[in-house]
Amino acid sequence: MFPACRAEHTLRPPRLVPELLGVRPNPFPDQGAPEPGRYSDPVPPAPPPQSSVAGGPGDRDGAEGPESSEPLEAAARTRHLDQVICEIGAEVERRRASGDLPASLESELDALFLEFSPVGLQAKSRMRQTLALVDRSAYIDLAVPVASRKVVGRSLKRLIKAGIGWYMGFVVHQIIRFGWSVSRLFHVLVDRVEDLERSVERVQDPGMPSSVVPRLDAARQWWVPEALRAMTGVGGRVLHGECGNGTFVVMLTERGIDAYGVDPDAQVGREALDSGVDLRSEPLIDHLELVEPGALAGIVLTGSVQWLPSGDRRRLVDLLSTRMSERSVLVLQSMTPEAWSTGSSPIVGDLAPGRPLHPETWIHLLQTCGFATSEVFSGGQDRRIDPVGPDHPGATSVNGAIDAVNRLLLGPEEYLVVASR
């Protein structure tokens, strides 16, 4: 049983460990089986490891170095572990045969193991391993032990077992049927969950690492004056989401505004030490979920708000409606959908899970949550073509084509939405 039980040992240890038996395994597997009575003796220290060099430590001829002994040491440890498991199993069988190990104690230890042991290290195997525990627990054993140290006690137990056995059998049979029905339902649910997980994994977006996202430097942005003007006079805490190097947070604090910033980039922590402002390395949505309702008087959104997937965008709007106080101000900066393919980084454009929205769409989403739009500003690079003069041949047709190109491709690349409650 135990010499071939190494695979089982990786999932579940033997039913009784040596400490519960009051025994210790043989520390020297090469010296044969331990003598009777030696299990309770203290374990002597392990002998010093032998050098793998044939001529000793000072002999350099034919030496391969300490690396060559690593596979041998691993194999020796494996053999030693197998022998320890077998010795424990042999001791358990001996204690069972002698009657020193009651079946009730083993059942109690098994129940404790099932209750407190971890169900697995791999997330995908946890449900299956937990389901196996449910299957094993769904059966009720009617074989009540009748052993007793007293003859009268043994006879009395047998009498009680014979007298109520038919009644208990009838009740237990129904309980077991119910348990197996529930277990079967769990099997169906686990199969369904695993199918859904596989489907999600096939269509799941790999995500965009923060290292490929250009970091925001507010000192070079066209929208900063308008955002500062919108936040002037805000009486409360102001959050800048995706704050980059924190320059805009510094600008807000210099104007007496209680501002802080969050950014998923780990580098923001070091920049917080340099600038002396409150910058935190956290994703925006994760941070907003921890903020108290009505705790923010202003929020400035830049960066990933442009390419959020639809579900995260909806979640963000809901969080804005609850985390912002009455009379609060929201500033949102984004690229236009027309400029997304040409104005964004190629890596960001390809890996982003979503695409920018038109300002009208953001206005609609914010109005559904109680925001009133104050202003919409356009900016960024403007590559629009000037129309031709009226004296140009076919001026009407040419200007119509120029207007279409300007509107679809060459207009302002970015916009800023200022909303208030």
Locate 215 and state its tokens.
């970091």
- Say whether both 247 and 326 belong to one domain: yes
Q: Is 281 found in the same domain as 225?
A: yes
Full-prediction pTM beyond 0.75? no
Q: In whole angstroms, what is the distance from residue 219 CA to residue 238 CA?
A: 19
Q: Of 183, 204, 225, which residue sits at a domain end?
A: 204
* Residue 141 maps to a domain: yes
Cα three-residue angle 72-77-79, rounded to 5 degrees: 95
96 Cα distance to chain centroid: 45
- Per DSSP, what are the bridge partners of residue 416? 333, 377
Has residue 416 been placed in a domain? yes
**56 occurs within a structural domain:** no
Same domain, residue pair 258 and 176: no
Domain assignment of residue 21, yes or no: yes
Rounded Cα distance, 237 and 119, in Å: 45
Judgement on whether residues 74 and 131 belong to the same structural domain of the protein: no
Low-confidence ranges of the chain (pLDDT < 70): 1-72, 103-104, 107, 110-111, 113-125, 204-212, 214, 343-344, 381-384, 406-411
Last residue of a domain, one of 204, 232, 252: 204
Q: What is the pLDDT of residue 26?
A: 47
Shared domain check, 391 and 269? yes
365 and 228 within one domain: yes
Supply the pLDDT for residue 116.
64
β-pairing, 414-420 with 324-335?
A: antiparallel
Which ranges of 204-309 would DSSP assign to H, the alpha helix?
Answer: 224-231, 247-254, 268-275, 284-290
- Alpha-carbon distance of 353 to 348, in angstroms, equals 9
61 falls within a domain? no
Residue 45 within any structural domain of the chain: no
One domain for residues 199 and 333: no
- Is residue 393 in some structural domain? yes
Residue 60 is assigned to a structural domain of this protein? no
Q: Provide the token pair at 380.
A: 């960024």
Contacts with 329 (C-beta within 8 Å, 6 or more apart), sequence order: 230, 231, 234, 297, 298, 299, 418, 419, 420
Own/partner long-range contacts of 13-16 (Cβ < 8 Å, ≥24 apart): 13/113, 14/85, 14/88, 14/89, 14/92, 15/92, 15/106, 15/109, 15/110, 15/113, 16/88, 16/92, 16/101, 16/106, 16/109
What are 74's two structure tokens? 């691993």
| Residues 111, 126 within the same domain | no
Number of domains, the chain? 3
One domain for residues 91 and 139: no
Range of the domain at 198: 119-204
Same domain assignment for residues 221 and 269: yes
CATH of the domain at 391: 3.40.50.150
Of 145, 171, 204, which marks where a domain is finished?
204
Q: Are 110 and 123 part of one and the same domain?
A: no
Q: Are residues 350 and 276 located together in one domain of the fold?
A: yes
